């Protein structure tokens, strides 16, 4: 019994570490836009130090469970490219090529089932975030998935991805939701928001 719970804790810790690394890198890339919206994330406060810290977290996750870390990291990378599917990346290849390479790398390092689970699980979490943020993202001009294709369609895609994740590994899917809640709570706790108050001219000021 103890061995089973120990394994669950290790897998949860690995997911949290890798998820935190991905979140830090994502916030680092979006830092300027977030600051314009009045959001100051941990990545915005750390600046260039964010990337080394993210690398440390990714290595910790990999040391705890290499297969999980690889599948989640490359799954996140592949899903993140969907929003710019046909755009040219800094490597001068379209985003869908990098998506395919990320998935193939995950298959080689973690196996096809874990690679597929990683993509499906990260898609569920990413699209759930898009669904929850659809109204503020629409107001700020961000065209996330829910804004582009609609809420019902997004929920259907989430359900399909969730079914795939459960079929690949039901236990890891459940643990991943716990990790996502912990990471969401940590992100909310470490993010400060500047309130915009209209002045006498009707212009919002921080």
What's residue 5's pLDDT?
Answer: 84
Residue 198 lies in a domain: no
Q: What is residue 200's predicted lDDT score, i.e. its pLDDT?
A: 44
The Cα–Cα gap between 18 and 203 comes to 41
Report the distance separating Cα 71 and Cα 111, nearest Å. 9
Kindly state whether residue 169 falls inside one of the protein's structural domains.
Answer: yes
Query: Is residue 203 a part of any domain in this protein?
Result: no
| Domain membership flag for residue 201 | no
Residue 122: predicted pLDDT: 95
Q: Is residue 104 part of a domain?
A: yes
- Provide the number of structural domains found in the chain: 1
Q: Decide if 204 is inside a domain.
A: no
Chain length of the chain: 206
Give dist(CA 68, CA 204) in Å, integer: 45
* Mean pLDDT of successive 10-residue stretches along the chain, which has 206 residues: 77 96 90 77 89 95 96 93 80 88 95 96 90 67 70 88 96 96 92 58 42
Residue 34, domain member (yes or no): yes
> Whole domain around residue 135: which residue ranges?
2-193
Alpha helices in 50-150 (DSSP H): 50-64, 66-80, 95-110, 112-132, 134-140, 145-149
| CA-to-CA separations, 173 to 38, 140, 142, 144, 169, in angstroms, rounded | 33, 32, 28, 24, 6
Return left, alpha or beta for 92; rule: phi > 0 is left, psi -120 to 50 is alpha, else beta.
Answer: left
pTM (two decimals): 0.84
Can you name the residues that pair with 205 across neighbouring β-strands?
197
The answer to the question of residue 206 being in a domain is no
């Amino acid at each position: 019994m103890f061995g089973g719970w120990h394994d669950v804790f290790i897998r949860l810790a690995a997911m949290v570490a890798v998820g935190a690394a991905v979140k830090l890198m994502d916030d680092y890339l979006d830092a300027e836009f977030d600051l314009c919206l009045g959001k100051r994330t941990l990545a915005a406060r750390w600046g260039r130090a964010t990337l080394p810290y993210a690398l440390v977290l990714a290595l910790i996750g990999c040391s705890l469970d290499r297969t999980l870390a690889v599948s989640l990291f490359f799954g996140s990378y592949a899903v993140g490219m969907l929003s710019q599917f046909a755009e040219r990346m800094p490597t001068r290849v379209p985003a869908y090529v990098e998506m395919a390479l990320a998935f193939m790398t995950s298959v080689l390092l973690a196996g096809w089932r874990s690679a597929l689970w990683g993509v499906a699980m990260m898609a569920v979490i990413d699209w759930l975030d898009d669904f929850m943020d659809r109204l503020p993202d629409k107001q700020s001009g961000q065209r996330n998935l829910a804004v582009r294709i609609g809420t019902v369609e997004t929920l259907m895609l989430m359900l399909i991805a969730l079914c795939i994740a459960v079929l690949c590994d039901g236990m890891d899917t459940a643990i991943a939701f716990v990790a996502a809640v912990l990471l969401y709570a940590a992100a909310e706790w470490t993010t400060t928001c500047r309130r915009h108050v209209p002045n006498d001219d009707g212009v919002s000021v921080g």
